[in-house]
Amino acid sequence: MTNPDPVGRIVVAGLTKAYPGFNAVDDLSFTIEPGRVTGFLGPNGAGKTTTLRMLLGLIEPTSGTATPGGRRYVNLERPVEIVGAVLEASSAHRGRTGRNHLRAICLAAGLPTSRADEVLELTGLGAAGDRLFKGYSLGMRQRLGIATAMLGDPQVLILDEPTNGLDPEGIRWMRGLLRDLAGQGRTVLVSSHLLSEMQTLADDVVIIAKGRLVRQGSVAEVSASIATAVHVEVRTPAADLLGARLEKLGAGVSLTANGDLQVTDASEKQIGDLAHELGVPLHRLAAGTADLEEAFLQLTHEGATIR
Amino acid sequence: MKLLRAELFKLRTTSMWWVFALAWLVTTGVVLAVNSVNARALLKPFDQYVSIQTHGHESPTTLDPGRLDHFKSDWTAGHDVIVQAAKIYTSGQLIGLLLACLLAIVLVTVEFQQLTATSTFLTTPRRRAVVQAKLGTALIVAGLAWAATTVLSVVVGAVFLHQQGYLVSLGSWSVDRAILLNLAAYLLWALFGIGFGTLIRSQLGATISATILYLVGSGAAGALFTLLNTYVIKHNWVLSAQVIVPSTASTVMISPTQPFDYAPAAWVGAVVIFAWAAVFGLWGVRTLQGRDIA
C-alpha cells in the first residue's frame, strides 16, 4: 500500500484526548504542509501541548490519529531523523553538560557523536557546550532544545513555545533559523502564545480553543476572514442620530465612555456615506486593524463559546 | 546495544557514578572492619571470646547461665575459619545490595525527576527497549560493584586472616560459593530495583520504600510470622513462608547457615527474589507503556 502523505506532511485526524470530566483535545483535525512555518495558536489550556505530545507518541490519544509523514511517531524506524521536537526547555539532566546531553541522544539514536558538536555550533552554544546544564540560562536551554531537535537533521520540526525566555536577539535568531529551515522544504510547526511573533514568523496558522479547531489558513486569510467583524470607531457631535440610522441598517452600535460610537458590521465607507447623506460632521472615522492578535482573540473567544 | 551504550554514557556523565562508587567502597570498608573484629574474637578459644566480648570483666565461670548460653551459641556458629572467611570476603554485601537496588531505581526514576523522560522517549519511542537498556546498565554496574567490593574484601581479608595465623581459605567451595552467591544477590537486587523504579515513578518514594523494605523487611517479617505461628496458625510452614519477603529471600539465598528455624533451601530464596523482580518489572513496564509522558 502506498503512503499518500509525503514525509513532511503532518495530518491530525479526529484527534481526541479525554480526561475525566473534560476533553483536552476534542475531535481535532488539520493538516500541516512542508516548506512552511505553521503557527499553532490557542489560549492557555486550549490543548496545544497535549496535541503535540499525541503527535509525538508521548500521550496516547483516546481516538483519532496524528501522524508525521503518514505513520504514527512510535512506528517510525529512526524517529529523530524524521521529526525533531522541542517540548520543554528544561529537559536535560542538571548535572550533565550540554554536549554530553546531546552525545547521549546521539548514542541512543545511532548518530555519530560528532553531530553533537555540529548542532552546538549551529545554535551558538559551542562555547557553553561543556558547562553543566544547571548553569544554563533559559535562553541557552531553549537553544539546547533546538540543538537536540536538529541532531537527526529532521524533515519535520515541532516546537512548543520555543521563544519563551529568549532575549530579542535570541528571538530574531530563532525566527531566522525557522524561516531558513522552512525555506529548505522542511515542515515547521511552532506553538506559541506570542501572537505578534506568529505574525512575523508564520506562513499559516492553526487556531484552537478548548481542544477544538477554530480556524486554519494562511495568516492573511485568517486575518481577512474576520475583517468584517472588526469595529469602526466614529466620533461625531450627532452620535445619537448617526447611531440610530446605522442600527436601522443592521449595524451593531455601542457607545464608549468618551461618547464615541463603536460600530460593527458596517465598513468605513458605508458609515462615511451615511454621515454625508445625513449632513452629520465626522471628527474621527477609524477602523480597527484586523491583526492576528485581534483575530486570535475573537476566534478563540468564539471557540470558547462553541461548547 | 546502542541504547545500552547510551545508558552507560548517561550514567558516567553525571556525578551519580562516583557517589555510588564511593558509597560502595566506604560501606564495604566499614563492614569489613566490623567483620574482621568479630572474626578475630570468634576464632579465639571460648574463654578468650567471652573476655573480649565483656571487655575483660567476665569469664565463662562468672557469667550467668542465660548470657553464657547466648555467647556459646554465637561462638559455636562462628568459630570456624571457613565461615569467617566467607563473611569477611562478602563484606560488600550488607549495604552493597541495597546500593545496587537504589542505583537501579535511580537509573529509571531520574528520567522523571530530571524531566528527561520526554527526550528519552522521543529518541526511543519503544519504552520497553529503554527499560531493557536500563536493566542491562544496572546489571553491568552491579557486577562491577560486586567485583570491586569483592577484590577489596578478599585482599584485605586474606591479609588479615594470614596475619592472625589462619588459613586464607580461598578455594574452599563454601567460601567460593558465598562469593558467587553474593554476585547473584547483587544482580537480583539490581533487577528488583529496575522493577521497583519502573513501577514507582517518584524517586524519593521508590528509594525510601526500597530502603525500608531492605533494612526493616526481614526483622518485621520475622516478628510477624513468628506471632502468626505462635497464636494463629501453629504450623511450621508459616515460619518457612517468611521467605516471601524480598530481603528475607535474599538472606535465605546467601546465608551460609540456616538464617531462621524452618528456613527453606537457598534456591527458594533466589526464586522468590527473582519472582518479585519479574513481577515488579513486568508490571512496571506495562504501566510505563500506558503512561502519558506529560
Query: Where does the pLDDT of residue A4 fall: very low under 50, low under 70, confident under 90, or very high at 90 and above?
Result: low
Alpha carbons A157 and A189: distance in angstroms, whole number: 6
Q: Among the listed ranges A26-40, B70-84, B145-159, which one has the minimum average pLDDT value?
A: B70-84
* Tens digit of each residue's pLDDT (9 = 90 or more) over A48-79: 999 999 999 999 999 999 999 788 999 998 99
Computed over every residue of chain A, the mean pLDDT equals 86
* Position B80 pLDDT exceeds 60: yes
Q: Do B122 and A80 touch (CB under 8 A)?
A: yes
pLDDT at residue number A156 = 94
Q: Mutation test of the interface with chain A: which of B116, B121, B134, choosing the one with the most A Cβ atoms within 10 A?
A: B116
> What are φ and ψ of residue A43, in 5° steps?
-70, 170
With contacts defined as CB-CB under 8 Å, which chain A residues touch B125? 57, 73-74, 76, 79
Contact B248, B213 (CB under 8 A): no
With contacts defined as CB-CB under 8 Å, which chain A residues touch B121? 57-58
Contact B92, B28 (CB under 8 A): yes
Query: Where does the pLDDT of residue A95 fall: very low under 50, low under 70, confident under 90, or very high at 90 and above?
Result: very high
Alpha carbons A292 and A290: distance in angstroms, whole number: 7
* Position A300 pLDDT exceeds 90: no
Strand order in the sheet with A63-68: A22-32, A10-19, A63-68
* Position B63 pLDDT exceeds 50: yes
Chain A residue with minimum CA distance to B114: A93
- Which of the two residues, B17 and B257, has the higher pLDDT score? B17
Q: pTM of the prediction?
A: 0.82
Any alpha helices (H) in chain A, and if so which ranges? 48-55, 98-109, 114-122, 138-150, 168-183, 195-201, 219-225, 239-248, 268-278, 292-306
pLDDT at residue number A62 = 95
* Position A224 pLDDT exceeds 80: no
The minimum CA-CA distance between B113 and chain A, rounded to whole Å, is 9
pLDDT at residue number A295 = 62
Chain B residue with minimum CA distance to A74: B125
* Position A1 pLDDT exceeds 70: no
Chain A residue with minimum CA distance to B133: A108
Of A53, A73, A105, the CB nearest to B119: A105
Q: Which of A25-34, A291-300, B267-276 has the highest mean pLDDT?
A: A25-34
* Tens digit of each residue's pLDDT (9 = 90 or more) over A123-139: 999 999 999 999 998 88
Q: What SS3 class is residue B259?
A: coil
Chain B residue with minimum CA distance to A95: B14
Q: Do B118 and A88 touch (CB under 8 A)?
A: yes
Strand order in the sheet with A37-41: A83-86, A156-160, A187-192, A37-41, A204-209, A212-218
Alpha carbons B24 and B14: distance in angstroms, whole number: 17
Q: Do B119 and A57 touch (CB under 8 A)?
A: no
- Which of the two residues, A35 and B79, has the higher pLDDT score? A35
The minimum CA-CA distance between A213 and chain B, rounded to whole Å, is 22
* Tens digit of each residue's pLDDT (9 = 90 or more) over B1-37: 899 999 999 999 999 999 999 999 999 999 999 999 9
Of A58, A60, A107, the CB nearest to B9: A107
* Position A146 pLDDT exceeds 50: yes
Q: Mutation test of the interface with chain A: which of B8, B12, B119, choosing the one with the most A Cβ atoms within 10 A?
A: B119
Q: Do A93 and B5 touch (CB under 8 A)?
A: no
β-partners of residue A66 are A12
pLDDT at residue number A2 = 46
The residue type of B207 is: T
Q: Do A94 and B119 touch (CB under 8 A)?
A: no
DSSP state of A114: H
Q: Angle of helix A138-150 relative to helix A114-122, nearest 10 degrees?
A: 130
Q: Among the listed ranges A232-246, B47-61, B269-283, which one has the minimum average pLDDT value?
A: B47-61
> What are φ and ψ of residue A212, in 5° steps?
-120, 150
* Tens digit of each residue's pLDDT (9 = 90 or more) over B103-118: 999 999 999 888 888 8
Q: Do B294 and A107 touch (CB under 8 A)?
A: no
Alpha carbons A138 and A144: distance in angstroms, whole number: 10
Is the minimum CB–CB distance between B113 and chain A shorter than 8 Å?
no
Is the minimum CB–CB distance between B124 and chain A shorter than 8 Å?
yes
Q: Among the listed ranges A113-127, A289-303, B92-106, B108-122, which one has the minimum average pLDDT value?
A: A289-303
Cβ contacts below 8 Å, chain A against chain B, sum to 80
Q: Do A58 and B293 touch (CB under 8 A)?
A: yes
The residue type of A237 is: P
Q: What are the residues whose beta carbons fall under 8 Å from the beta carbon of A235, sequence distance 6 or more?
A: A259, A260, A261, A282, A283, A284, A285
Q: Among the listed ranges A97-101, A190-194, B201-205, which one has the minimum average pLDDT value?
A: A190-194
Is the minimum CB–CB distance between B232 and chain A shorter than 8 Å?
no
With contacts defined as CB-CB under 8 Å, which chain A residues touch B107? none
Q: Do B120 and A59 touch (CB under 8 A)?
A: no
* Position A6 pLDDT exceeds 80: no
Closest CA to B98 of B197, B211, B250, B16: B211
Measure Cα distances from B104 to A88, A188, B182 in Å.
26, 38, 17
Q: Do B121 and A94 touch (CB under 8 A)?
A: no
With contacts defined as CB-CB under 8 Å, which chain A residues touch B110? 93
pLDDT at residue number A304 = 46
Chain B residue with minimum CA distance to A76: B125
* Position A306 pLDDT exceeds 50: no
Is the minimum CB–CB distance between B6 and chain A shorter than 8 Å?
yes
* Position A302 pLDDT exceeds 80: no
Q: What are the residues whose beta carbons fall under 8 Å from the beta carbon of A282, sequence distance 6 or more?
A: A234, A235, A236, A272, A275
* Position A149 pLDDT exceeds 90: yes
Q: Mutation test of the interface with chain B: which of A17, A72, A73, A91, choosing the one with the most B Cβ atoms within 10 A?
A: A91
> What are φ and ψ of residue A191, in 5° steps?
-90, 145
pLDDT at residue number A89 = 58
With contacts defined as CB-CB under 8 Å, which chain A residues touch B5? 107
- Which of the two residues, A179 and B170, has the higher pLDDT score? A179
With contacts defined as CB-CB under 8 Å, which chain A residues touch B286? none
pLDDT at residue number A291 = 56
pLDDT at residue number A305 = 40
* Tens digit of each residue's pLDDT (9 = 90 or more) over A199-219: 788 999 999 988 999 889 998
Alpha carbons A123 and A182: distance in angstroms, whole number: 16
User: Model ipTM?
Assistant: 0.84
* Tens digit of each residue's pLDDT (9 = 90 or more) over B166-178: 888 888 888 998 8
Q: What is the mean pLDDT of residues B249-278?
A: 85
pLDDT at residue number B76 = 84
